[in-house]
Amino acid sequence: MSWVKVAVSQSSEDIFDEDADEIYIAQKEWNSTMKKRSKEGYRDGIEAGKELALQEGFNQGYRQGAELMVTCGQFRGTLNALLSWCHLNGHDSSLSKINHLLDVVGKHEEDVLKYLNSLQEQPHLGDILDFVQDMDLSDTAPAGTDCDATKAGKYEHTGSSGKTCCRNKGKDDSLQSERSKAKFGTNPERLETLAWVKEQTMWLIEQLGLSLDMLHHIQQLGH
């Protein structure tokens, strides 16, 4: 190590400066390499994370969409059936009423779609659960269309045997107790739309003198 001593004693400052430059360059190189590695890792990570989450997200979204929209579909199908029946049996005076109800259901579907889209931006399970609860129309009668005691009684009666309309809704039962939670969205009228359509359809069925079976079927919609 004697050469080091010699070098240091001769011109210590110069040597020190050269070293400093080299260290500085090496440090810079090191930093940029590590930055590059980090960036590469980030890119690889994004791809891997996205690939795995896409399918998962799709499946979650699909279930939500299907479960929320099936009720709207049932209303629309029911009204379409009534429309065709009235047409075939000469009850033409009811056609415009049914068509109006179909328009309301169509608008409601659009609202549900918009809601679904807004939900995807910030997916919180709580919101979804609230919305699913709101779809259950049994005791959320809209203002001005209060269910009377007989109707409520009828509903309870059919409720026990009524598994015809909706499958896969078992989990709704566990949610009933949480019903008092805040309603979704900014417009509370939305969730009352289907309840209103239901009332109107039941009224129409009574006017047409259709069977009790029919009323039961309507009452079960949305459950």
Partner 1 sequence: MLSGGGVGAHPAGSRGLGFRGAMAAASSGADMFDDIVMAEERFHGEGYREGYAEGSHIGVVEGRRHGSLHGAKIGSEVGCYLGFALTWQCLLHKCTDEKNSKKIKVLDSLIGMIRKFPYEDPTYDKLQEDLEKIRGKFKQVCSILNIQSDFRISTERSSLTF
Site for partner 1 in 186-215 (CB under 8 A): 210-211, 213-214
Footprint of partner 1 on 112-131 (CB under 8 A) = 112-113, 116-117, 119-121, 123
Closest approach of partner 1 to the CB of residue 180, in Å? 27
Stretch that binds partner 1, among 14-22, 38-46, 146-154, 173-181 (CB under 8 A): 38-46
- The helix-helix angle for 189-207 and 95-121 (nearest 10°) equals 160
Nearer to partner 1, 146 or 157 (CB): 157
Closest approach of partner 1 to the CB of residue 187, in Å? 17
Q: Between the CA of residue 25 and those of 15, 16, 29, what are the distances in Å?
A: 15, 14, 6
Nearer to partner 1, 17 or 206 (CB): 206
Contact 137, 198 (CB under 8 A): yes
Give backbone dihedrals phi and psi of 143, rounded to 5 degrees, phi first: -60, 135
Alpha-carbon dihedral of residues 165, 169, 175, 176, nearest 10 degrees?
20
> Is 58 a binder of partner 1 (CB under 8 A)?
yes
Rounded Cα–Cα distance for residues 196 and 101 (Å): 9
Binding partner 1 by CB under 8 A: which of 17, 19, 21, 40? 40
Nearer to partner 1, 11 or 27 (CB): 27
Rounded Cα–Cα distance for residues 127 and 129 (Å): 5
Footprint of partner 1 on 75-104 (CB under 8 A) = 75-85, 87-88, 102-103
Q: How many residues bind partner 1 (CB under 8 A)?
A: 78
Site string for partner 1, 143-172 (x = CB under 8 A): ---------------------xx-xx----
Binding partner 1 by CB under 8 A: which of 12, 32, 33, 187? 33
Which residue, 206, 222, 219, 221, is CA-closest to 151?
219
Contact 194, 71 (CB under 8 A): yes
Nearer to partner 1, 101 or 141 (CB): 101
Rounded Cα–Cα distance for residues 153 and 155 (Å): 5
